[in-house]
Structure 1
Amino acid sequence: MKIYSRTFGGVVFDIFNYVFFTLLVVLCLYPFWYMFVYSISEPSLAAKGVTLLPRGFTLFNYKKVMELKGIYNAFFISVIRTVIGTALSVFLNALLGYLFSRTEMPGRKILYRMLLLTMYISGGLIPYYLIIKNYGLLNNFMVYIIPGAIAAFNVILIKTFIESLPDSLQESAMLDGAGYFTIFTKIVMPLCLPIIATIAVFSAVSNWNSWFDNYMFISSEKLNTLQLTLYEYLNEAQTLARLLQESGNIEDYKKTMQRSLTPRGVQITITMITTIPIMLVYPYMQRFFIKGIMVGAIKG
């Protein structure tokens, strides 16, 4: 058996790779670590700067944010919106992608092109608002769910993935008497887990981070999402800090900043609170997510 010895150039190349990718990982993770360290540091000390370790460990930032009026109801609304919106979006996009993959579907090409047009043409904000109003979705929880239930890009990904599956699977099921819906739920959906996981991640992130529809179409505080609630509080904190500075009373400003959240502390703490829940989803979806993206990229 012939044994190949490693050359000096190969060793140097490996060392360079390890060093380079280690630095790359550090550069990618450090911003998140910095925000985490800042959020658990004493606000007055963190304002002077932090690096790797917290300065004066405290959970004061999180405590104050969690004491906001309506914060728990807003968190519940955001969770329910994300769960329902993601589940409905995945099902409808998958069903529509399956229908467009069937060549016997009447008007398939025309309808598919009409769907593609929605990626390039928009009616604008005012017509969109009038449509929401005419459908009775103002101050309605369903305004979070219905308008974004179907996305053209997601339909394209699923359609492309389904077309990569062997036709013999569906044909044999039809010979056994299975209908289109049975084939979709029993055969197509289980085989489409990679792309479905990809769509689920896209939809979950979009629903969780969305706040503009809440800002435009909802006036009831009971239906406010977590993102809008924290956004409004952040604006209030920044306004308070600016007014104190502009008043010229530096002592009041310093005292206020010492016993309350600083605007930067609010911003970073809010970023952590809204980021951590959605980040927990990625480890479970990663292997499906990567496979789904690769298939969509190659087959599309």
Structure 2
Amino acid sequence: MSAQAVSAAAPLAGKKTARKGLFAAKAGRKSSRNPMDQLSAGEKVFNVCNTIFMLFMAFICFYPFWYIFVNTISNNKMSADGEILFWPKGIHFDNYRTIFELPGIAHATLVSVLRTVIGTVLCVAVSAFLGFMMTQVKMAHRQFVYRFFVATMYVNAGLIPGYLLFNYLGLLDNFLVYVIPGAVSAFNIVLVKTYVESSIPQSLQEAAEIDGAGTWTVFFKIALPLMGPILATLAIFSAVGQWNSFMDTVLYVTDDKLQTLQYVLYRYLSQAQAMANIMAQSGGDASSMAATGVTAQSVKLTVTMVTVLPIFIVYPFMQKYFVKGITIGAVKG
């Protein structure tokens, strides 16, 4: 073969070799896309055991709610005898229907919904603004005010001074006693402050101030739109607390028109046997009562489910914001 032929064939051979190397690299990348292929046998065993353990823990957390629910819609006599464990039997919804027909339940539900909505909105708004202000260096005595808020997490005047203060402010037997005391939360302020310092660049505020924006403009148009995760976290905290609270009704409210659903159901729960007798006497014909068999246990389980179900339904939709907000708001990067 001549020297010219050899010199002409050399680039072609080089191109073929390069193509083979490229195809081999692509095949290697494709085969390594599955992370499981890169794990050792011990790591694979650990992942399997870890998954089984997590599923078991999830089952332990979920099963109590499932157990209560299936017992509330099952035959009450079978439930009282302990025959309902995983699946409902003799399905009916008379327990829920009868619970909501009890005197005062409808109005108490309205009061609870109003206090939850208004209290949550007020708490989130106040906490967001105060937390934002604690990050403003130009605010006078900022460190003192922040430490004053934090000190309230550890120092409490007590029940009697709190009662006297609410009496002096005219909050006894007043709907505002449900929303005003919880509007300012030191814990929420700490979360918002840390979130703003960790997630919102100071340069955004400085650029807005150069363009003539004031504190309110910076808060509403720059900081607030970027606080979605932490605001969702605060909303979850506040809504759960407002919905489940009943001690403030016990301590500060005597007016029947201001009693919350949780307090009314708590009162019924403590008198479950008496309520079962009332429900049995006021509900349906004999055949219907024989089928449903209202018992003290059915009253307790149904009351428990009514108080838990609203939050149980809402929480999954807020979980992704909750996790992000609590992690970013709790640790300063």
Give the TM-score, by structure 2 length.
0.81
Structure 2 distance, partners of 1:43, 1:125, is 41
Are 2:120 and 2:239, in contact at CA under 8 Å, matched by a contact in 1?
Answer: yes
Q: Structure 1 residues 257 and 179 mapped into 2: Cα distance closer, same or farther (>3 Å)?
A: farther
Indicate the residue corresponding to 1:84 in structure 2.
118
How far residue 154 of structure 1 moved from its aligned partner, in angstroms, is 0.2
Candidates 75, 86, 98, aligned match of 1:64: 98
Q: Alpha-carbon deviation of 1:20? A: 2.5
Cα distance change on mapping 1:139 and 1:258 into 2, 3 Å: farther
Match of 1:38? Answer: 71
Contact 2:75 2:292 in 1 (8 A): no
C-alpha displacement at 1:220, in angstroms? 1.1
Cα deviation for residue 285 of structure 1 reads 1.3
Q: In the TM superposition, what whole-angstrom CA distance separates every residue of 1:36-74 from its partner, at most 9, and x where no partner exists?
A: 011112222211112111232221221221111011111
Letter in 2 for 1:215: V
Q: Which runs of 5+ in 2 are unaligned?
A: 1-26, 277-288
Per-residue deviation, 1:290: 0.6
Partner of 1:190: 225
Find the counterpart in structure 1 of residue 313 from structure 2: 280
Match of 2:171 among 133, 137, 153: 137
Give a deviation string over 1:184-243, Cα, whole Å, max 9, x none: 0111011111111100100000000001111111111111110001011111224678xx
CA-to-partner distance for each residue in 1:13-56, whole Å, 9 max, x for gaps?
44333333322222221111101011112222211112111232
For these two proteins, the number of residue pairs brought into alignment is 287
1:206-221 to 2 correspondences below 5 Å: 206-221=241-256
The more displaced of 35-44 and 72-81 is 35-44
- Equivalence for 1:157: 191
Partner amino acid, structure 2, of 1:26:
F
Q: Does 1:96 align with 2:130?
A: yes
Percent sequence identity is 47
- Residues 252-271 of structure 1 show CA distances to partners (whole Å, capped at 9, x for unaligned) of xxxx9997643322222111
| CA distance in 2 between partners of 1:14 and 1:291 (Å) | 25
Query: Corresponding residue for 2:21?
Result: none
Helix, strand or coil for the counterpart of 1:299? Answer: coil
Consecutive unaligned residues of structure 1, counting only runs of 5 or more, are 242-255
**Residue type of the partner of 1:178?**
A
Q: Report how far residue 11 of structure 1 moved.
A: 4.6
What's the CA shift string for 1:159-180, capped at 9, x where partnerless? 1111122111001111111110
Give the whole-Å Cα distance in 2 for the aligned partners of 1:276 and 1:264: 18
Aligned partner of 1:204 in structure 2 is: 239
Counterpart of 1:24 in structure 2 is 57
Could you tell me the TM-score, scaled by structure 1's length?
A: 0.89
In structure 2, distance between residues paired with 1:76 and 1:41: 28
Q: Which residue of 2 aligns with 1:246?
A: none
Deviation at 1:283, TM superposition (A): 2.2
Please tell me whether the aligned partners of residues 44 and 257 of structure 1 are also in contact (alpha carbons under 8 angstroms).
Answer: no
1:278 deviation in Å?
1.2
Maintained 8 Å contact 1:64/1:261? no
Taking structure 1 as reference, are residues 198 and 148 closer, same or farther at Cα in structure 2, changes over 3 Å only?
Answer: same
Q: Secondary structure at the match of 1:37?
A: helix
Residue of structure 2 equivalent to 1:251: none
Question: Which ranges of 4 or more aligned residues in structure 1 deviate by more than 3 Å?
Answer: 1-15, 238-241, 256-261
Match of 2:213 among 170, 175, 178: 178
